[in-house]
Structure 1
Amino acid sequence: MGLTADPAFTTTSFVVIDFEATTPKGHPAQPIEVAALALRHRHGDWEETGRSTSLICPPAFAPVTPLTTAQSGLTAEQFKHAPTPAVALGALDARFATGRRYLLVAQHAATEAGLIHRQREHCPNLARLNFIDTIPLAKHLIPGLPDYRLDTLLTHFAIPMPPDRHRALADVEVTAQVFFRLIAAADHDPQLSDLAALEKVAGRTAKSNLPAQGGLFDLETPSNPSYQPEP
């Protein structure tokens, strides 16, 4: 039985998530855009079950800079009427419902995990969800690449580069394409025969699920949180 035949895998919603952020001097990164794409693997194929995207108004100490504009195309003008983090992340958080099993999926999940944890008062459900990180999964399945950046993986899998690369929704969509190909490869890997094995290789525990005394350690306990909402 391969990974995608595991009942735990087929009953899990995988939510690919990406943030764009500003990085003000002397402060942690501040989110300015978020996108999420919810997916289930059913009957041998992937099915989209929901998506969400929103700009997020940055705080005054973390304005959109020319560097941010050069990378993402986002300008300060676009944020004049953008929702606050409380509104934008609260709306996303409300799309998760009790009783469903979720895992977040991200490219370099430490970045997304850190942003979510710092905003956890606005998205407590989201903050309790663990991650699958595409980087360690790709390292396990396709060793020997020069690096494991998203652009490198897109090239490796011949996935077209989106014209709006570095916008949250575009990055979520291509990360999902990378994830699909990695899972297809994992289905033939005897070391990744079920969801627990996948989490052991590529899982990252949400900081909100770590024991308080473990805050200095980067644990990779792959268990899902007991409260697992649905978008």
Structure 2
Amino acid sequence: MTEDPAFLATTFVVIDFETTTPTGYPAQPIEIAALALRYEEGTWATVGRYASLIRPPAFAPVTSADTAQTGLTPEQVKQAPNPADALGALDRRFTANTRYLLVAQHAATEANVIHNQREHCPALACVDFLDTIPLAKHLVPGLPNYKLDTLLAHFSVPLPANRHRATADVDVTAEVFFRLINAAAETSQISDLAALVKIAGRTAKCNIPVQSGLFDI
């Protein structure tokens, strides 16, 4: 797989959000981190990195439960960029004529946040995902579960001190992704990028065709 031209031509962007979960509304981002990677000459090269706090809307304040989970406080996000500025700055890093795939642990979470914020990040919203969970299930069967901490323990990746902050979670998700790709390459279980996408891919909601009603007039 790591010799497949399509794989080598792809920029993999590991992404993670921290969010608030206001009642009656979708999750609202309060922090984002992204790590862009290319596989070059047998190793992974970092080709970009981005991180920002995000000021949530008034209906989605940082709660004590959020602080307990992430360590982020209302004061920290109060002066942060709004979603349009924080996500727009990341969106502008995605260039035309470059093949991208986003990588995330439980990609449905990140996919939903991005889709709900798509007006601020239209380029990002059109990038499909690889989910490390189905990839790990395929390559490392038999684990008690496929939570990130379980995968970190399996691959002997130390827990970061600031686990549940976006940058730390992106870094350790990348480490898991590296090990999964190595396992796939060593065992020849996945032959190319197309096979990888078939196992672990998730189509961005913006790329899913909308089916017209059968009796539209």
Matched, 1:195 2:193: yes
- What's the counterpart of residue 5 of structure 1? 3
- What's the counterpart of residue 134 of structure 2? 136
**8 Å contact from structure 1 (residues 16, 36) kept in 2:** yes
* Mapped partners of 1:105, 1:123: distance in 2: 17
Q: Secondary structure at the match of 1:90?
A: helix
Structure 2 counterpart of 1:149, one-letter code: K
Deviation at 1:190, TM superposition (A): 3.6
Q: Secondary structure at the match of 1:14?
A: strand
- What's the counterpart of residue 123 of structure 2? 125
Moved over 3 A (4+): none
Select 1:57's aligned residue among 35, 55, 58: 55
Per-residue CA deviations over 1:5-45 (Å, capped at 9, x if unaligned) read 10100110000000000001111100000000000000000
- Aligned pairs (5 A) from 1:58-73: 58-73=56-71
Structure 1 counterpart of 2:129, one-letter code: F
Select 1:175's aligned residue among 168, 173, 176: 173
For structure 2, the 5+ residue unaligned runs are 213-217
- Count of residues paired in the alignment: 212
- What's the counterpart of residue 74 of structure 2? 76
Deviation at 1:46, TM superposition (A): 0.3
- Percent identity of paired positions between Structure 1 and Structure 2: 69
- What's the counterpart of residue 88 of structure 2? 90
* Mapped partners of 1:128, 1:79: distance in 2: 27
Structure 2 counterpart of 1:178, one-letter code: V
**TM-score, normalised via structure 1 length:** 0.91
Structure 2 counterpart of 1:85, one-letter code: P
**8 Å contact from structure 1 (residues 191, 197) kept in 2:** no
- What's the counterpart of residue 217 of structure 1? none
Deviation at 1:79, TM superposition (A): 1.3
Matched, 1:36 2:34: yes
Per-residue CA deviations over 1:176-202 (Å, capped at 9, x if unaligned) read 000000000011344410000000000
**TM-score, normalised via structure 2 length:** 0.96
Q: Secondary structure at the match of 1:36?
A: strand
* Mapped partners of 1:11, 1:42: distance in 2: 9
- What's the counterpart of residue 183 of structure 2? 185
Q: Secondary structure at the match of 2:2?
A: helix
**8 Å contact from structure 1 (residues 55, 82) kept in 2:** yes
